[in-house]
Amino acid sequence: MKEPGHVAEEKKVFYAQYIASGTLSLVMLVVGLANGWSSPYLAKLSLQESMDDIPKASDEQLTWLASLMNMGRIFGAVIGAIVQDTLGRKMSLCFAGLPLMCGWICSSVAASIAWLYTARILWGLGMGMIWTTISLYLAEIADSEIRGSLVLWNITTQSIGQFLGVLLGPRLSVRTYGYVCMVPNGMFLLLFPFIPDSPYRYVMVGDMEKAEASLQWFRRQRNVKQDLMELQDYVNSSQVTLRDRLRELGKPKYLKSFGTMFLINISLFFGAFNVINNYMEIILSKSGVSLTPSDVVVGVGFFAIISGLAATCLVDRLGRRFLMISSSLGMALFLGAMGLHFLLILELGHDAPTLTWLPCTCLLLYTASYSAGVGCIPSTLVGELFSPSLKTIASLSYSGCAALFSSLSAGTFIPLLNLVGPVYLFWLYATGTLLSAVFFYFTVPETMGKSLKDIQAEPEEKT
């Protein structure tokens, strides 16, 4: 029990946690810039005879360019899991900035498609390390009152980077774009080493002095002894040997959590965000809009930012589950409407330019729906649902599966488009996403406002 007046003596302040999150947002901005590269430059490579002396890409090369980054994420997830488990969350995030920087160097000197292949793989390696680690780090440094908003802010920063990517891509050469992206990447590599590692990490390796110092830095309180004791009890309650981890993994509550995160990844395949992200300009060109596709993409990116900011403000008020369900319902509606548009122009003979409003509105609202829930909540959940001894396995499993399904989604789009056509392909995506909303209703737990210790204790009480 805390002594009477303990809370009143030192009021909670969060600015140090915001500083750490803000510094991390630099690398998430870089991740967004790498994601934003796809739409403008894949379109350029598919339409122009050459770009910066890089020859026009074939359909096969475009598919590889769209897929290689997500393939790199799979290997990056494994590397990130190993580094965070041996050297800590902070070092994993620091090292993630290096392959990202090397990727920008490759794109800045690119003279062939092979250079761009290399850049995409390197970006994927960095992303895999980041996505495996960032939600765990933020969940472990943040108070329960702001944990969800900190994670969602960083994902929204990725949307800002993606918006900048689609804004700058049509106006800059691929080489100049690489030079621009080196700036925030370099700032992150310079600044983040000054932020402390997670106090959970220090407790797990038995360095209580550094754990206390880390807690004091993030909480801005002189006396964190009580919090440190609670943290030590929470961490020590989880066994750390491999055999004990496997035994703990077999508990019904964790098997259910792993199953939930795996099925969320399957739902993201049907959600088709990687398809929309990589091929948006190509999709708009095929839809026959009367507007310049790159201008529509910029508007879509802006909507994603607004939606992400709204989710950041609402996630600790409305809850994770509500946002996931609402988001997937919106995505299903607008993916279905995209299929309707292609039905009208390809099979019913309607004039495409007069229907320009339909695909543009669908893509705007689809992206807003994705950014408000499905695109951000799973990263929050993976940092909340698992005990300390399972966090690394959970983050590796989720990040690796996310990369695999993202690669499959982007890599199968053109073959499926040629096989069944855009109408039935978008309706397939819509049906899968609608079923995902039903799945989220029955399986996604609500963790809003709960401490990590309470989240772990609650299922035990119910069983």
Domain boundaries, the chain: 12-195+237-462
Q: What is the pLDDT of residues 400-416, one digit of tens each?
A: 888 888 878 877 888 88
- The share of the chain scoring above pLDDT 90, in percent, equals 24
Average pLDDT, the chain: 83
Q: Tally DSSP H helices, then E strands, for the chain.
A: 20, 2
Taking residues 225-238, what's their average pLDDT? 73
Handedness of CA 448, 452, 455, 458 (dihedral sign): negative
Annotate 160-224 with DSSP letters as a single string: HHHHHHHHHTTTS-HHHHHHHHHHHHHHHHHHGGGSPPPHHHHHHTT-HHHHHHHHHHHH--S--
In this prediction, residue 424 has a pLDDT band, given cuts at 50, 70 and 90, of: very high
Annotate 342-369 with DSSP letters as a single string: HHHHHTS---TGGGTHHHHHHHHHHHHH
| pLDDT at residue 413 in the model | 85
What is the enclosing helix (H) or strand (E) of 51? Answer: strand 50-51
Q: Lowest mean pLDDT: which of 63-77, 228-242, 317-331?
A: 228-242
| pLDDT at residue 462 in the model | 46
In this prediction, residue 313 has a pLDDT band, given cuts at 50, 70 and 90, of: confident
Q: How far apart are CA 304 and CA 370, in angstroms?
A: 8
Q: Lowest mean pLDDT: which of 106-120, 163-177, 284-298?
A: 284-298
For residue 162, give Cα distances in angstroms to 81, 101, 309, 436.
25, 17, 14, 25
* 3-class secondary-structure state, position 69: helix
pLDDT over 80 at 389, yes or no:
no
**Pairing status of strand 54-55 against strand 50-51:** antiparallel
202 vs 6, higher pLDDT: 202
How many residues are given for the chain?
463
- The share of the chain scoring above pLDDT 70, in percent, equals 91
pLDDT over 90 at 310, yes or no:
no
Structure-block tokens of residue 379:
């990263």
Fold type of domain 12-195+237-462 = Growth Hormone; Chain: A; (1.20.1250)
Amino acid at 438: V
| pLDDT at residue 3 in the model | 43
In this prediction, residue 96 has a pLDDT band, given cuts at 50, 70 and 90, of: very high
| pLDDT at residue 154 in the model | 83
Nearest C-alpha neighbor of 374 from the set 433, 449, 287: 433
Q: How far apart are CA 180 and CA 172, in angstroms?
A: 10
**Long-range contacts: 418-424, Cβ < 8 Å, 24+?**
421/342, 421/346, 422/283, 422/286, 422/338, 422/339, 422/342, 422/346, 423/339, 423/342, 423/343, 423/346, 423/347, 424/339
Handedness of CA 392, 396, 397, 402 (dihedral sign): positive
| pLDDT at residue 373 in the model | 82
pTM of the model: 0.74
The alpha carbon of 329 is separated from its chain's Cα centroid by a whole number of angstroms, namely 20
Say if CB 40 and CB 170 are below 8 A apart.
yes
Nearest C-alpha neighbor of 240 from the set 87, 398, 85: 85
Question: How far is it between the farthest Cα atoms of the chain?
Answer: 75
Give backbone dihedrals phi and psi of 373, rounded to 5 degrees, phi first: -160, -75
Say if CB 382 and CB 257 are below 8 A apart.
no
Q: Lowest mean pLDDT: which of 47-61, 81-95, 145-159, 231-245?
A: 231-245
| pLDDT at residue 461 in the model | 46
pLDDT over 90 at 344, yes or no:
yes
Q: How far apart are CA 84 and CA 404, in angstroms?
A: 21
| pLDDT at residue 222 in the model | 65
For residue 368, give Cα distances in angstroms to 23, 177, 308, 372, 375.
25, 26, 8, 6, 10
> DSSP code of 54?
E
Structure-block tokens of residue 340:
């309707």
Taking residues 46-67, what's their average pLDDT? 79
> Dihedral angle at the C-alpha atoms of 34, 67, 77, 429, nearest 10 degrees?
100
